Structure 1
Amino acid sequence: MSAPLTLSRPGLAAGRIAHALHRAVTPDYFGWLEHTASAGGCSRPIRLTGTLASVEADTGRVIRELHTDELPDRAIYKACGNRRASQCPDCAWVYAGDAFQVVRTGLTGGKTVPATVARHPVVFATFTAPSFGAVHHRHVSRHTCATRQRCDCRPSPCRARRDAGTCEHGQPAACFARHDADDPQLGRPLCLNCYDHDHQVVWNGFSGELWRRTKQAIERHLAALCRQRGISHVQVVTDSGRVRRMPPVRVSHGKVAEMQRRGAVHFHVLLRLDGVDPGDKDALVPPPAGITADDLDDAVHAAARQITVTTPPHADQPNGWPITWGEQVDVRRIGSGDGDVTDAKVAAYLAKYATKATEVTGHASTRLTPDTIDAYANPDGDHLARLIDACWRLGRPTATRTTGSNAQPGDRQGHLDTNPYAGLRRWAHMLGFGGHFLTKARRYSITFGLLRDTRATYRRTEDNETADTLTVGTLTYLGAGWRTDGDALLANTAARQRRESRRIGREELAHDAWLAGAAA
């Protein structure tokens, strides 16, 4: 059984400590601690049972075989791998580290990405959702704080409109409060009945398509600039052997979705200008000299203004909903001399939000089902309850099977018409957003899979396993979570100590490198 490390209840704390002491005095305690190190710190590790065999890679000969019954707890522990910090802080810490590497290597190179990408023009753009109704917000017109992370500046009044009166539902259309940063009112509508909850969840659901078309528009804008400036297209040989003419510039991106307090996502996107090598279409080369970061900036703003997606018809909205970006589209240049926009800071910022989901809104449930939806959805409830209800209602099954004269030729059972909004139900716990929180273009940088394989190779080398030997497992699922609260306490404490040791080691190495550079 897994449980958070809290000692708030005396009875629970006493039982946990008793379990921990019982484990610590067993003869194989240190062997157990080493055995669980790979999952140490995980809130809910996966327990596996079965057989492990060491096999020669060349011949397939089994060198040795081991059953999990011979191991501590008669199982293998594997970390759950959950990226959400609210669900498993340790696994999210690993994921954030990988996300940092994925984002930063696209800016500076390294780990199979050429270092020359550091000279490519890059901008950091933020795309926001439009307004679906007035909400409480916190705005600081002029910052005087030392750092935004610990901002203590006095905000402006929320919505100071003395002649605003009331809305059609009798609610005040103004708010004179100066909200604190942790005020639960932030992001909540001034009037729940005026707010368009349906449109917001549909926007969340179709925002990925909006981004796809926006990137296409950015690349079309840059291709048109190349034609205007006499920069010729490039002829590239495709995998099928055909010769294809391509624009001489393309855009590679890394994108993170962040959930706002009102429950609408917005996107932070790194956009890098790359060129095209006629001899190797997969090579990362600089863009033509005639295309600059200024052009990329203009292309982003032009695309954000022009692109609109109209969603498919729905029974509640026969003409569909218009999906557009909000008015606030912010574009900053990486390495432009602005100390707030460096490659390391941007990579850390995006990695942090890659481990978050809907927690900022106050909602953090798992996937909802017909048995659990009533606990969260309410058409007359608060803001979050109405958003979840909108997802469930708009995603309701509308499939109809046509028969008789309306059936398709050759189809004995008729044609099945499905609801294009069905995904809203699947992602109701995410307020309609079903996309990945961190995505990237294939050419932007390395992959998470490469980082995981590198760690696995390092562990094999660390364990003195050679590349000629493979470990083949025949394993089945046994359960999830630590067997006792005491096991969770010991394993998680040991994991924290290992992380702290690595952190101190990295700081010492960085300090030594700084001293060496200063002496030189």
Structure 2
Amino acid sequence: MAGAAASMGVDPVTLADLLRVANAPGFDRWQDQVRRTGGCAHPIRLMGQTVTRDAKTGDVLYSYSTEHEPGGMLRVACGNRRASRCPACAWTYAGDTYHLIRAGITGDIHKDVPATVRNHPRVFATLTAPSFGPVHNRPDSGRCRCGNSHAEDDPALGTALDAERYDYAGSVLFNNFAGDLWRRFTIYLRREIAARAGLTQSALREVCRVSFGKVAEFQKRGAVHFHAVVRLDGPTGPDTAPPAWATVALLDGAIRAAAGRVSVTVPASGDHSERVLRWGSQVDVQAIGALGHEELTEQAVASYVAKYATKAAETTGTVDRRIGELAELDKLPLPTHTRRLIEACWELDDAYPDRLLVRWAHMLGFRGHFSTKSRSYSTTLGALRQARADYRAGQERRERGLSEDLDDSEGSTLVLAHWTYAGQGHTPGESWLAASIARDIRLNRETAREALADLDDWEVAA
């Protein structure tokens, strides 16, 4: 292990700490704890104990204490969705998002979405930001307006061609009000659908419901845009069929029309004049194909949404933590374009104090949720997490020879627990080992998933 670390160019401090951890008493148990967190990069460390008693007899059914754990602590996953903060927890979050989105596209009886939802009109829509000034890009012609052909990894991509004329204030205000634009879009979308069906909005609710699951993505230029699966259901949701007039073509037209009508007015304040914010002219709507019969498959859409659910504004080179004061920017390796966007947040904060622009400066003004869904789209992330927790709890009970209904809701058991926060994160050596464990876990799961997919393909062929 130490030889492998040294061969990979691990710095001397990390290598020394790695050796300390590997030779410490309880190293196997430490590895077991880290595996149970999925290789979390910043686990929460807890100290305490829990006792489960029979509510009638008072007999102790199970007890646990961190007293004999490595370092006297229990490590639990941080649960951070950002891949830049914790790749392991973000991978789990992406998996949950994939199943949530896919259930709303293909149906899943385990998530209370019938398979008949595949017959409902479903599209994958993208709403973009308007232009705030020309930026370096890679057009189909291959040559940017600057006269050069940029490589895919060129750091100049997305940056302003003329920083002095670029509308940095407009960009961060658009990000800040993007959630308001989306909310108004959903309102206008229902109005457009009702108008095209020849119905009032109240009459529309009696026969059709609009469901969606969306995710935000930052473009290289620092402007946010939204990807969404939009579906038409019957009046009670995915378990009822939409009316015959509800077609993909109608939904396509309604989305484009609604996006074009939406606007949010930002009032004048201080030295800043009134602005009217709108979506960009590029609105993309694609039908989602069933069983791979269309170019945009169901699996591809779910994977695409899940991919961006774990990302934030890091694609622009910004930081993934809040900035306490503007002077911090001098200590950060920020691209000039990104720094100007952050500075614009600070400059606008006095004019629009209710928008919390300074608080969200590291997000270039965006303060909305990265992934949201309508109530009836499919299951919830909370339900998926609870199902995973219940499964693991069942495993624990079986390993200890305890009853499957140990923690039933009838009050047959009494759990007494006391936990104290003892810190978060790893030492340098622990971080290296945890990352290695996370990679192994992910590789094993991906290998198993590919094997199951091959088996499914073989069964279909047979």
Q: Same fold (TM over 0.5)?
A: yes
Alignment of 1:52-71 (within 5 A): 52-56=50-54, 63-71=61-69
Who is 1:89 aligned against? 87
Alignment of 1:13-92 (within 5 A): 13-23=14-24, 26=25, 28-56=26-54, 63-92=61-90
Matches of 1:211 and 1:52, distance apart in 2: 45
**Sequence identity of aligned pairs in percent?**
43
Does the Cα contact within 8 Å between 1:48 and 1:76 map onto a contact in 2? yes
Does the Cα contact within 8 Å between 1:85 and 1:356 map onto a contact in 2? yes
1:222 equivalent among 193, 196, 213: 193
Does the Cα contact within 8 Å between 1:126 and 1:330 map onto a contact in 2? yes
Who is 2:410 aligned against? none
Matches of 2:196 and 2:87, distance apart in 1: 46
Matches of 2:21 and 2:89, distance apart in 1: 22
With over 3 angstroms needed to count, the CA separation of the structure-2 counterparts of 1:459 and 1:390, relative to structure 1, is: same
2:215 equivalent among 250, 256, 260: 256
Matches of 2:237 and 2:295, distance apart in 1: 32
Alignment of 1:417-428 (within 5 A): 419-421=353-355, 423-428=356-361
Counterpart residue identity of residue 455, structure 1 = R
Who is 2:254 aligned against? 299
Who is 1:185 aligned against? 156
Counterpart residue identity of residue 179, structure 2 = G
Does the Cα contact within 8 Å between 2:38 and 2:441 map onto a contact in 1? no
Matches of 1:449 and 1:395, distance apart in 2: 34
1:331 equivalent among 260, 285, 296: 285
With over 3 angstroms needed to count, the CA separation of the structure-2 counterparts of 1:472 and 1:100, relative to structure 1, is: farther
Who is 2:167 aligned against? 196
Counterpart residue identity of residue 500, structure 1 = L
Does the Cα contact within 8 Å between 1:334 and 1:343 map onto a contact in 2? yes
With over 3 angstroms needed to count, the CA separation of the structure-2 counterparts of 1:327 and 1:119, relative to structure 1, is: same
Alignment of 1:31-430 (within 5 A): 31-56=29-54, 63-110=61-108, 111-141=111-141, 156-159=142-145, 175-227=146-198, 246-276=205-235, 281=236, 284-319=239-274, 321-335=275-289, 339-370=294-325, 373-375=328-330, 382-396=336-350, 419-421=353-355, 423-430=356-363
With over 3 angstroms needed to count, the CA separation of the structure-2 counterparts of 1:283 and 1:84, relative to structure 1, is: closer
- Structure 1 gaps of 5+ residues are 142-155, 160-174, 235-244, 399-417
The C-alpha deviation readout for 1:75-107, integer Å capped at 9, x for no partner, is 110111111111111111111101101110010
Does the Cα contact within 8 Å between 2:123 and 2:230 map onto a contact in 1? yes
With over 3 angstroms needed to count, the CA separation of the structure-2 counterparts of 1:497 and 1:112, relative to structure 1, is: same
SS of residue paired to 2:23? helix
SS of residue paired to 2:198? helix
SS of residue paired to 2:456? helix
Further displaced range: 466-475 or 434-443: 466-475
Matches of 1:192 and 1:345, distance apart in 2: 37
With over 3 angstroms needed to count, the CA separation of the structure-2 counterparts of 1:216 and 1:232, relative to structure 1, is: closer
Does the Cα contact within 8 Å between 2:346 and 2:361 map onto a contact in 1? yes
**Residue 205 of structure 1: how far off its partner (Å):** 0.2
Higher share of residues assigned helix: 2
With over 3 angstroms needed to count, the CA separation of the structure-2 counterparts of 1:480 and 1:114, relative to structure 1, is: same
Counterpart residue identity of residue 248, structure 2 = A
Does the Cα contact within 8 Å between 1:376 and 1:385 map onto a contact in 2? no
**Residue 40 of structure 1: how far off its partner (Å):** 4.3
SS of residue paired to 2:419? strand
Who is 2:432 aligned against? 489
Who is 2:12 aligned against? 11
**Residue 127 of structure 1: how far off its partner (Å):** 0.6
Who is 1:439 aligned against? 372
Matches of 2:276 and 2:152, distance apart in 1: 32
**Residue 131 of structure 1: how far off its partner (Å):** 0.6
Counterpart residue identity of residue 423, structure 2 = G
Matches of 1:376 and 1:14, distance apart in 2: 27
Does the Cα contact within 8 Å between 1:226 and 1:247 map onto a contact in 2? no
Does the Cα contact within 8 Å between 1:377 and 1:389 map onto a contact in 2? no
Considering only aligned residues, what root-mean-square deviation do their CA atoms show, in Å? 2.6
**Residue 468 of structure 1: how far off its partner (Å):** 2.6
Matches of 2:459 and 2:364, distance apart in 1: 51
With over 3 angstroms needed to count, the CA separation of the structure-2 counterparts of 1:191 and 1:453, relative to structure 1, is: same
Matches of 1:455 and 1:311, distance apart in 2: 44
Counterpart residue identity of residue 458, structure 2 = L
Matches of 1:509 and 1:283, distance apart in 2: 28
- Structure 2 gaps of 5+ residues are 408-412
Residue-pair matches, total:
442
**Residue 433 of structure 1: how far off its partner (Å):** 0.3
The C-alpha deviation readout for 1:52-76, integer Å capped at 9, x for no partner, is 2224578887533333213232111
SS of residue paired to 1:510? helix
Does the Cα contact within 8 Å between 1:50 and 1:473 map onto a contact in 2? yes
Matches of 1:473 and 1:14, distance apart in 2: 37
